[in-house]
Structure formats: structure tokens, C-alpha cells
Amino acid sequence: MDITYPIIIAVAKSWFRVGLKVDMAGAENVPATGGAVIACNHNSYLDFIASGYPGERNKRYTRFMAKKEVFDHKVGGPLMRSFHHLAVDRSNGAEAFQVAVDALKSGEVVGVYPEATISRSFEIKEIKTGAVRMAAAAGVPVVPVVHFGFHRVQTKGHKRDLSRGTAVVIRVGEPYFPTGEDAVAETAELHRRMAALLDECIAAYPADQKPAGAWWLPARLGGSAPTLEEAERLDVEEKKARAERKAAKAAEKAAAKG
């Protein structure tokens, strides 16, 4: 039974009415019954709202996959469990995959982010094969959901901006059934569909909120966001710096014990 989810959705919808300018199309593509994989783009810290909103229109609650450490948190854990989200162990890919497949076979709508990490370029990054593989294994459709605008509210490398009237465009693609025979080719097809939906979102974005040079616009459209290649370089540098900090902290602990 869902108790917390409806409350959070009501709060989000109130925010939409008061603080944002939301334009959504294609919500009817989320199946009214049965399992489905929602494959959402990842350009903000609020993607779960964008990717969960279309399903709510059909009275479906999206269960998102999240690392198990989140469920261990004394505050976040109970909240995540109340949403019936899926705890996965990133160190055990096979187990995480099976958790998702079991949920899909039981009729759940499962939300995944094929890009894995936030796209600093606001384009669709290279994506993983997991979404199409789990859909094929469970015999359910993949439904691509792409949004543009939430990154202006909160994303990596930029301050949170809760200004009223920020436009958010959400487009939901048609469901399709991967066979699993060629996961690489089917993932390429998912990428094509998501990229096309992103172009639809940006085309529908209000002209007065697309000024030349804006940081929230992709470079190919005259924005100052990094290109895909530049964003990848930044991701590599960030990952390296994180590993160095982790190693330094571990060395400090070892020295303190010694």
C-alpha cells in the first residue's frame, strides 16, 4: 500500500502549479497495467520527479532503482522503503539486475537512468544496456521519458534556483519491446529515441527562456554548456579527484591507527 507516494506527488503538483511552467505530452504511453521500464534522461537532481510524473497520470507509481547505501540512512532509508523503491548493490550487478526483473515481472513500473550519471552537456550521453536487457528479460516494454528544464532548478555545478515561472518540458515516447537478441543495437535505438525526444523538448521550450549563451542550453544550440566531449573530460577529472580524496582519507585513517 502506498501512503507516502501520493503525499509527495500532491506536493510536487502544487509546486508545478505555483512555481513552474510544465508542458508534458505523451503520458498515455505509460502502460495502465503491467510492468514497464521507464528510461529517463539524467540532467538534474530532480529527474525522479520528471520521470515519475507521466506514470502518475495513469495512476502508476514508478519504483526507482537506488544504491542500497541510501536505504541504510536513518532518515532516507525509511522514506525510500515507503516509496517501495528498489535497493541495489552496485558491487553486484547480477543481483541488481535480478531485483529489477523480478519487480517488472510482478507488474511494477521501474525507473532507470541509462546514462548512469548526470549529463553536464544536457545532451543524451552514451547509455548502458541495462534498460533494454531487463525489459527483454521481463518481457515488458521500454518507455523513454525525456525532460528539459529541471536542470535549471538544480543540477551539478550550478546553484539551486527556485525562481517562479521556470519552464519544464516533458515528452514521453511510445513503448517498444526489446528482444534481447542484440542489446547493443537495441540500446543504440533507445539512445536514438531519447535524443529525438530531447530535440522535441528543446523545440517546445519557450523562446524567451532560450537566450543565446545560456548555461542551460546545449552548445550545439548556442548555449554555453560544455559539449559532450568536454563534459566527458570533466567527468573523468571529477572521478579521479574523488578517488584521490578517498585514498588520502584511507591513508590518514591507517596512519592514525599505526
Residue 255, in any domain of the structure: no
* H helix or E strand, kind and range, residue 65: strand 62-67
Q: Is the pTM of this model over 0.85?
A: yes
In a domain, 240, yes or no: no
Considering only CA atoms, which of 165, 153, 172, 169 is closest in space to residue 201? 169
What is the domain extent for residue 114? 4-210
Q: Is 168 helix (H, G, I), strand (E, B) or coil?
A: strand
State how many domains the chain has.
1
In a domain, 246, yes or no: no
223 in any annotated domain:
no
Q: Which set of grid coordinates corresponds to residue 138?
A: 521481463
Question: Does residue 86 lie within any of the structural domains?
Answer: yes
pLDDT of the residue at 92: 65
In Å, how far are 128, 164, 165, 169, 202 from 206, measured between CA atoms?
Answer: 31, 14, 11, 9, 8
Task: Return the closest-CA partner of residue 111 out of 148, 61, 173.
Answer: 61
241 lies in some domain: no
> CA 110, CA 95: separation in Å to the nearest integer?
15
Q: Which residue intervals of the chain are DSSP H helices?
A: 4-19, 47-57, 68-72, 76-82, 93-105, 130-138, 183-204, 228-257
- Within a domain: 248: no
Cα–Cα distance, 56 to 33 (Å, whole number)? 12
* pLDDT at res. 48: 87
Residue 131 class from Cβ within 10 Å (0-12 exposed, 13-18 middle, 19+ buried)?
A: buried
Strand, helix or coil for residue 113: coil
In this structure, what C-alpha cell is assigned to residue 6? 501520493
Start-end of H helices in 183-227: 183-204
Tell me the average confidence (pLDDT) per consecutive run of 10 residues in the chain, 258 residues long.
77 86 95 96 91 87 82 77 77 81 95 92 96 96 97 95 94 96 96 98 97 96 95 92 89 82
CATH (domain of 126): 3.40.1130.10
Q: Which residues fall within 8 angstroms of residue 164, CB to CB, at 6 or more apart?
A: 18, 19, 20
